[in-house]
Amino acid sequence: MPVGLAQPTPTAAEIQGLFDRIAPVYDRLNERLSFGLHRVWKRMAVRWSGAAPGHTALDVCCGSGDLALMLAHQVGPSGRVCGVDFSAELLRVAEMRSHRTYRSAPLQWLQGDALALPLEAHSVDAATMGYGLRNLTDIPQGLAELRRVLKPGASAAILDFHRPQGRLAEQFQRWYLDVLVVPTAEGMGLTDEYAYIGPSVDRFPIGSEQVALAHQAGFERAVHYPIAGGLMGVLVVGR
């Protein structure tokens, strides 16, 4: 989709339906489109979340379970991990993966809304969110809800696309989205499902704006780290 061409912001139901449809090929697409680097970025987010052995950890918008499975490894058998997503199909994939990979891990999968998390206040020691904040229909509410469930002193790391600063980097990201991401999705019959990514990145607050929103949501600590040459970013927030 050309830059500057307006597209209506999708509703929560439309986003949910989109992720239900792409669930069967979600992992394969992530691997191909990031050249496997998404696993490195996710490990960085887990590290910045501060998850440690014995912790209760949360992965919001857990998708097919990548970050939740990494958190399970980090907190160990004495800890507990909860993955929350509103896509039943992606949760089904996550549960199947966890049975194959972490049969005895302390994992729980819950279908729920990131804007109204099905967890008690102050119940989580560390949290992550991968490529979910950009898709929330109310980002401030999502951040406030994340703060609600974190214990005092706890941190969360939020990984997502980032609009890079600088003309060359912006042009590269646009090329990546328009020439690599969308055509690859088209080859899997998911043209409409992945055409939304470019506009969603254009609408997404840049790092400094994310920091400001985090402070407005009540977080005492908020730092945004550009990674992958500024094409991605991790917002680290804490109480």
- What pLDDT does 1 receive? 32
Instruction: Report the distance separating Cα 19 and Cα 88, nearest Å.
Output: 9
- What pLDDT does 104 receive? 56
> If DSSP codes are grouped into helix, strand and coil, which group holds residue 4?
coil
| Sheet with strand 221-227: strands edge to edge | 107-111, 80-85, 56-60, 124-130, 150-161, 232-238, 221-227
Instruction: Report the distance separating Cα 158 and Cα 223, nearest Å.
Output: 10
Cβ neighbors of 38 (< 8 A, separation 6 or more) are 30, 31, 66
- What pLDDT does 226 receive? 94
Q: In this structure, what DSSP letter does residue 8 have?
A: P
Q: In this structure, what DSSP letter does residue 76 have?
A: -
- What pLDDT does 103 receive? 55
Domains of the chain by start residue, with CATH: 12-238 (3.40.50.150)
- What pLDDT does 4 receive? 33
| Residue 223 to residues 126, 202, 212, 231, Cα–Cα distance (Å) | 16, 21, 10, 17
pTM to 2 decimals?
0.84
13 exposure class (CB count in 10 Å sphere: 0-12, 13-18, 19+)? exposed
Instruction: Report the distance separating Cα 61 and Cα 45, nearest Å.
Output: 14
Consecutive 10-residue runs of the chain (239 residues): their mean pLDDT? 45 78 72 79 97 97 95 94 95 90 76 97 98 94 98 98 81 80 75 71 92 98 94 95
- How does DSSP assign 100-159, residue by residue? HH-TTS-EEEEE-BTTB-SS-TT-EEEEEEES-GGG-S-HHHHHHHHHHHEEEEEEEEEE
Instruction: Report the distance separating Cα 58 and Cα 186, nearest Å.
Output: 33
- What pLDDT does 5 receive? 33
Strand partners, 39: none
Closest CA to 221 of 48, 35, 25: 48
